[in-house]
Amino acid sequence: MTQTPFESIISWVRKGYPEGIDPTEFPPLLALLTRVLDETQVTQVALTLAREHGADTPLTEERIHNAIAQVTEKTPNAEEINQVASRLAAAGWPLTSEVSAR
């Protein structure tokens, strides 16, 4: 069965972060996701993953929209993005083609 692009991204993030996403890596992850997904899709990815890992802080669409706004206002540095990109690439995300396509 072929996965949708959304399902593929969820799968790559799950593989790259099997214990959940460290809060320090959340902004660079959002920055990468906003390169390949629209805001609604990024919100759905974040909500899906947070629910799976029983996030300590309840996440709402509003909180995720605020986090996306913060990321777009202040882009994480290249080192932070590369660290997250490496995790996702190790999980099979074809970052080069996805990022350059957008």
* CATH number of the domain encompassing residue 29: 1.10.150.430
Measured distance between the N- and C-terminal CA atoms of the chain, rounded to whole angstroms: 26
Q: By residue range, what is the domain housing residue 32?
A: 5-15+22-95
- Is the predicted pLDDT of residue 98 greater than 70, yes or no? no
Q: Is residue 60 part of a domain?
A: yes
Tell me the CA distances in angstroms from 26 to 2, 3, 83, one per residue in order. Answer: 27, 24, 11
Q: d(Cα 86, Cα 38) in Å, to the nearest integer?
A: 22
Q: Is 84 helix (H, G, I), strand (E, B) or coil?
A: helix
pTM > 0.95: no
- Establish if 42 belongs to a structural domain: yes
* Domain-located, residue 73: yes
Would 101 be classed as within a structural domain? Answer: no
Count of domains in the chain? 1
For 31-89, write each residue's pLDDT tens digit.
Answer: 888 888 888 888 888 888 777 766 666 667 787 778 777 767 777 788 888 888 888 88
The CA-based dihedral angle spanning residues 40, 55, 18, 42, taken in that order and rounded to the nearest 10 degrees: 10
Residues with Cβ within 8 Å of residue 31, at least 6 apart in sequence: 71, 75, 76, 81
- Residue 75 is assigned to a structural domain of this protein: yes
**φ/ψ bin of 54: left (φ > 0), alpha (ψ from -120 to 50), beta (otherwise):** left
